[in-house]
Structure 1
Amino acid sequence: MKGLLVSGFAAIGTGTGAMLTLHAEAGLDPMHSVISEYAFHTGGWLLPASLTLFAIGATLIAEALRRAGMSRWVFALLLTWAASMFLIGAFPTDRPGVPLSLSGGIHRYAAFVAFLVMPVVGLLLARARIRHAKAVRVLSGIALGALLLVVIPYVVRMFGVPLTNDDIPAGLTQRVVVVTELGVLALAALSMLRPGVRHAAVGAALA
């Protein structure tokens, strides 16, 4: 199981490095530019590569948690998050101003699922009283709050209000969601690295 966790950390770390490299090279405004827009710039291939690595890392960590006896819901939701990450990378969003395509629709709804699922995983893990439960709960709460701020502009646009990303910190709120959710995933893995704590967490895990 330790091998799964270490491999999961390696995948997430490499994915994070790829994402940071893409941000540095593209030079977009992180306050207003959403992450999906980086796919249209030089080095845009790093975006699907990064998301795929996140998916691999989450899958490995999910399997480690399953072997440790963690809740079936935690395992299933982590796999859902991993699948959503893969779909986000495999189906790029549409360029600004272009009507929503099938690829853009899959990208958008997969992102919503991913953003919603990980905070739920975090709350389940916190309820199971894993190591770092308090930090996991706080990160999950921040992720849910930021997700609400991500969704509100879409709802406003549905009512015909011409709101653009330049009018709101769309890039910032989206990055808060991503960073906090990766934090939840990392803490979930860290909680399983110490055998004594791992056994205690398993005993308290949800059925």
Structure 2
Amino acid sequence: MKGLLISGFTAIAAGTGSMLTLHAGAGLDPVHSVISEYAFQSIGWLLPLSLTLFAVGSALIAGALARAGADRRVVLLMVAWGVSMFLIGAFPTDRPGVPLSLSGGIHRYAAFVAFLVMPVAGLLLARARTRYAGALRALSGVALAALLAVVVPYVIRMFGIDLTNDDIPAGVTQRVVVVTEVAVLALAGLSLLRQRSQGAVSPILA
């Protein structure tokens, strides 16, 4: 199990490094530009690389959770998050102003699934009295609140109101969701690693 966790942390760290490099080199406005737009930059290949690494990290930590006897729902939600991350990277969004394509639709709905399932997994882990339960609960709450802020503009546009990302801090709210959810994933793995090192029974058993 320790090997799964270390490999998972390595994948998450590599994914984070790729994402930060992309942000530093692309030169877009992080307040209004959503992360998907970085795919159209010269170093846009770092985006699917980063998301794939996050997906791998999630799969490895989900495997460790399963071995520790965690709630099966948590394991499945972690796997769903990883699959969604992979789909987000594999199916890029459409360029601004272009009608929604099949690739753009898969990208959009995979992102919604990913943004929704990780906070739920974090709340389930917190209810199981796992280590760092307080932090998991707080991060999951922030992620859900930020997800609501991400979804509201789409609902407003459905009513025919012209609202662009330049009118709202769309980039900020989306990044809050991503950062908090990656933190939930990392804390889930870290709680297992700490417990394993102390030679105690896992506190996240279902």
TM-score by length of 1: 0.97
Provide structure 1 residue ranges, at least 5 long, that are not aligned to the other structure: none
Residues 68 and 198, structure 1, Cα contact 8 Å, conserved in 2: no
Find the counterpart in structure 2 of residue 142 from structure 1.
142
Identical residues among aligned pairs (%): 74
The answer to whether residue 203 in structure 2 is matched with residue 201 in structure 1 is yes
The answer to whether residue 8 in structure 2 is matched with residue 13 in structure 1 is no
The alignment partner of 2:96 has SS state of coil
The answer to whether residue 73 in structure 2 is matched with residue 73 in structure 1 is yes
Alignment of 1:1-207 (within 5 A): 1-194=1-194, 195=196, 196=198, 199-202=201-204, 205-206=205-206
Deviations 1:112-141 (A, max 9, x none): 000000000000000011110000000000
**Match for 1:17: what amino acid?**
G
**2-side partners of 1:200 and 1:96: how far apart?**
47
The alignment partner of 2:138 has SS state of helix
**Match for 1:91: what amino acid?**
F
**Match for 1:115: what amino acid?**
F
Residues 25 and 42, structure 1, Cα contact 8 Å, conserved in 2: no
**Match for 1:69: what amino acid?**
G
Deviation >6 Å, runs of 4+: none
Q: How many residues of Structure 1 are paired with residues of Structure 2 in the alignment?
A: 204
The alignment partner of 1:162 has SS state of coil
CA drift at 1:200: 4.2
CA drift at 1:199: 1.6
Residues 54 and 85, structure 1, Cα contact 8 Å, conserved in 2: yes
C-alpha spacing 1:22/1:171, structure 2 compared with 1 (3 Å): same
CA drift at 1:198: 5.8
Deviations 1:23-78 (A, max 9, x none): 00101000000000000001000000000000000000000000000010011110
Q: How much is the aligned-residue C-alpha RMSD, in angstroms?
A: 1.0
Residues 62 and 78, structure 1, Cα contact 8 Å, conserved in 2: yes
TM-score by length of 2: 0.97
Residues 191 and 198, structure 1, Cα contact 8 Å, conserved in 2: no
The alignment partner of 1:201 has SS state of coil
**1-side partners of 2:20 and 2:2: how far apart?**
27
C-alpha spacing 1:128/1:21, structure 2 compared with 1 (3 Å): same
Deviations 1:141-191 (A, max 9, x none): 000000000000000000000000000000000000000000100000000
The alignment partner of 2:192 has SS state of coil
